[in-house]
């Protein structure tokens, strides 16, 4: 959100940032840069239907005096009380849909209340927002990264070159739908390959299962689960990036930022054949795909990159070129700006 706000044309847009709780490094940065911050409730979830609507009405009275034209939400949940608050205070409500989860009725309510929906991948446009009503208000705006921040490493003095083993990395939350178990099984089938797994632990039981799996396969020396490390710091020290997301719980991917960052860094990337990933990875062109939960297929693709240095280099270069052409922050901001102006009738 803040990447977009910082790059908006301030002669045209006057951004206000609303939060429900103060604190944190990003809060300090936003405040230090002088952006207008409002701390007030605007989500009334988990309160029941009637209470939630009543709270939304009350919250709207707090925001109405701000004369908001466009209410841009980056709340990833299906809660629709924010949408009610926005519409009651007279704003056009826009929300970003980043994953394929659609089973709850709340998603449909939120979508019908919205003035516009930003879909992060083409699968959402084709398979979720394909009714005549929703199609008209759905806009495809893909994810983006800072290509000046994430770029190919300049030095060969890295972890990847300090050992004869290939270094594979997956940066993703430790939850079942990310499929790290499949990646561990694939690594066990390969020689001279190390694996780093990093990401916030959202499921302690799943993390324990991963650690047990690593021990049971006798690959503790080659597979490490490390504390979350910022992507920019880690991507320069690896050889291959893998995102093995599965289709459990119907989530798949939206437009995975970690994959975009790895592609921008010029790494060869391997990803599962799920929504979101397939927008970024064209098999054999900008990376390699494998079928969900298929450890044998994943091991085969890692082996190809390990043995074919020309393939590895070609895929990494093509991945970088794609991000620079289609996934820059400048393009994302231009797309959002165009949407905002359209909604405001300008």
Q: For 265-274, what is each residue's pLDDT tens digit?
A: 999 999 999 9
Shortest CA distance to 165 belongs to which of 218, 229, 219?
A: 219
Neighbours of 310 (CB within 10 A): 7
Shortest CA distance to 254 belongs to which of 128, 150, 146, 152?
A: 128
Mean pLDDT of 77-100: 93
Q: What total of structural domains would you count in the chain?
A: 2
Please tell me the predicted confidence (pLDDT) of residue 47.
Answer: 63
pTM across the whole model: 0.92
Whether residue 65 lies inside any domain: the answer is yes
- Provide the 3-class DSSP secondary structure of residue 269: strand
Please tell me the predicted confidence (pLDDT) of residue 162.
Answer: 47
- Statement to judge: residues 67 and 180 lie in one domain: no
Give the number of residues written for the chain.
346
Please tell me the predicted confidence (pLDDT) of residue 155.
Answer: 52
Whether residue 31 lies inside any domain: the answer is yes
- Statement to judge: residues 241 and 266 lie in one domain: yes
**Two tokens at 9?**
């044309």
- Statement to judge: residues 240 and 108 lie in one domain: no
Please tell me the predicted confidence (pLDDT) of residue 52.
Answer: 77
- Statement to judge: residues 80 and 217 lie in one domain: no
- Statement to judge: residues 32 and 85 lie in one domain: yes
Q: Give the domain extent around 171.
A: 159-326
Mean pLDDT of 224-248: 92
**Two tokens at 320?**
């970088």
- Statement to judge: residues 125 and 193 lie in one domain: no
- Statement to judge: residues 21 and 123 lie in one domain: yes
User: For the sheet containing 223-226, what is the strand order?
Assistant: 223-226, 193-198, 166-171, 240-243, 269-272, 288-290
**Two tokens at 343?**
């909604």
Mean pLDDT of 210-229: 95
Counting residues of the chain whose pLDDT is more than 70, the rounded percentage is 96
pLDDT digit string, tens, across residues 129-184: 999 999 999 999 999 999 999 999 865 544 444 457 999 999 999 999 999 999 99
How many whole angstroms from its chain centre is CA 271? Answer: 14
pLDDT digit string, tens, across residues 109-141: 999 999 999 999 999 999 999 999 999 999 999
CATH number of the domain enclosing 113: 3.40.50.2000
CA distances from 209 to 149, 189, 242, 272 (A): 35, 19, 20, 21
Weakest mean pLDDT among 133-137, 195-199, 233-237, 252-256 = 233-237
């Amino acid at each position: 959100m803040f990447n977009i706000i910082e790059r908006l044309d301030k002669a045209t847009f006057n951004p206000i940032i609303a939060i429900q709780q103060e604190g944190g490094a990003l809060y300090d940065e936003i405040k230090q840069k002088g952006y207008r911050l409002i701390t007030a409730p605007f989500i009334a979830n988990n309160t029941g239907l009637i209470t939630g609507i009543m709270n939304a009405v009350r919250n709207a009275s707090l925001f109405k005096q701000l004369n908001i034209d466009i209410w841009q939400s980056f709340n990833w949940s299906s809660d629709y009380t924010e949408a009610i608050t926005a519409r009651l205070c007279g704003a056009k409500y826009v929300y970003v849909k980043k994953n394929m989860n659609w089973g709850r009725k709340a998603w449909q309510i939120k979508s019908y209340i919205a003035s516009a929906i930003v879909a992060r991948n083409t699968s959402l446009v084709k398979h979720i927002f394909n009714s005549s009503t929703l199609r008209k208000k759905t806009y495809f705006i893909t994810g983006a990264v800072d290509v000046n921040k994430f770029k190919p490493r300049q030095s060969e003095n890295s972890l990847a070159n300090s050992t004869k083993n290939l270094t594979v990395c997956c940066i993703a939350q430790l939850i079942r739908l990310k499929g790290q178990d499949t990646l561990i099984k694939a690594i066990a089938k390969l020689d001279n390959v190390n694996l780093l797994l990093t990401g916030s632990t959202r499921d302690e039981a799943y993390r324990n299962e991963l650690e047990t799996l690593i021990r049971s396969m006798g690959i503790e020396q080659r597979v490490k689960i490390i504390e979350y490390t910022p992507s920019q710091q880690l991507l320069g020290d690896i050889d291959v990036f893998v995102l093995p997301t599965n289709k459990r719980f119907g989530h798949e991917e939206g437009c995975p930022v970690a994959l975009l960052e790895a592609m921008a860094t010029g790494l060869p990337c391997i990803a599962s054949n799920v929504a979101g990933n397939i927008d970024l990875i064209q098999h054999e062109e900008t990376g390699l795909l494998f079928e969900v939960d298929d450890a044998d297929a994943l091991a085969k693709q890692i082996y190809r990159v390990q043995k074919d240095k020309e393939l590895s280099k070609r895929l990494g270069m093509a991945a970088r070129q794609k991000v620079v052409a289609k996934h820059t922050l400048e393009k994302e901001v231009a797309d959002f700006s165009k949407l905002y102006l359209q909604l405001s009738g300008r």
